[in-house]
Amino acid sequence: MKIALCFAFALALAMSQPTLAQNGFGQMPANNGGFSGGTMGGFGGATTPPPHNPGGLGTGGGTPLTPANPGGFGGGGGTMMPAPNTGGGNPGVGGGAQQPDPNAAIIQQLQQMAQLELQDYGVQPTQQLHDGAMHGPTPSSIPGARVTTTAELFQLVMSNQQPYLLFDVLGGDQTLPGAIPAVNAAQPGSFQDQAQQGFSQFLQQVTGGRQDAALIFYCASTQCWMSYNAALRAANLGYRNVLWYRGGLEAWNYAGLPTMPAGGGVMQPMGN
């Protein structure tokens, strides 16, 4: 499965540009797919992300979801089923069966995994920025935005039809391919603070003023509030297509999808 996924994502990784600043809101991607280009310095300096449990977040430790371990995806690539055999069928019958689309099998398996990403911890969504501990159970929905899953994000990347921007709000050593660092957007506070003003200017430039642009925010896992705050800030600024990738880096790793070192580049927005 990992081989098939990594091969599929090689196309996305090939589009990366070198050197992305890690200072808060780093550099912007060049103009492509309808987004205006240019560069922008760091926004007030990056904040250090709150510590999180290394035994179930990201690539380290953890155990698969069990009744005694709610919210755990596990680590080290997870336990996804191997990709189906796509070889021809019985060679003696009409030259063999038609080969299935390998991406269809991958998407089906990712959709089965979505129940872990969408699980309800009984936490009520709030329209205000979260100002408590950034590691802990999160709501299963978010006002002004919507929750997306690994399956949907995979399809978005592979379809090459819709432009989008992916934001890393965690600030760790590993990142999803093409993600733009936006750690400062996780800050608690208000929608009138300096962080919001800087974030507004940043998004205005990276989207070219398009408030219908797909903006995807992620952090560590379903137990991380940082991307929740960032998505709330973007929605409050009037962006109409804000997606909260709640499963985050943990779900991505569990699916066996590739990551890249932080600062490894920016993937261009896709589509028109």
Q: Which residue has the tokens 């962080």?
A: 195
* Tens of pLDDT, residues 205-245: 999 999 999 999 999 999 999 999 999 999 999 999 999 99
Domain covering 2-61+124-267, topology = Oxidized Rhodanese; domain 1 (3.40.250)
* Tens of pLDDT, residues 77-135: 443 433 434 444 444 444 456 666 767 888 888 888 898 899 999 999 999 999 999 99
CB 150 within 8 A of CB 103: no
**Average pLDDT over every residue of 20-36:** 33
Q: d(Cα 183, Cα 219) in Å, to the nearest integer?
A: 9
Q: pLDDT at position 106, please? A: 82
Q: pLDDT at position 89, please? A: 41
- Identify the H or E element spanning 205: helix 194-207
* Tens of pLDDT, residues 136-160: 999 999 999 999 999 999 888 888 8
pLDDT band for position 71 (50/70/90)? Answer: very low
Q: By percentage, how much of the chain surpasses pLDDT 90?
A: 50
- 3-state secondary structure string, 113-129? HHHHHCCCCCCCCCCCC
Q: d(Cα 219, Cα 58) in Å, to the nearest integer?
A: 9
Which are the contacts of 211, defined by CB distance < 8 A and separation ≥ 6? 238, 239, 240
**Average pLDDT over every residue of 169-188:** 95
The chain-wide mean pLDDT, for the chain, equals: 72
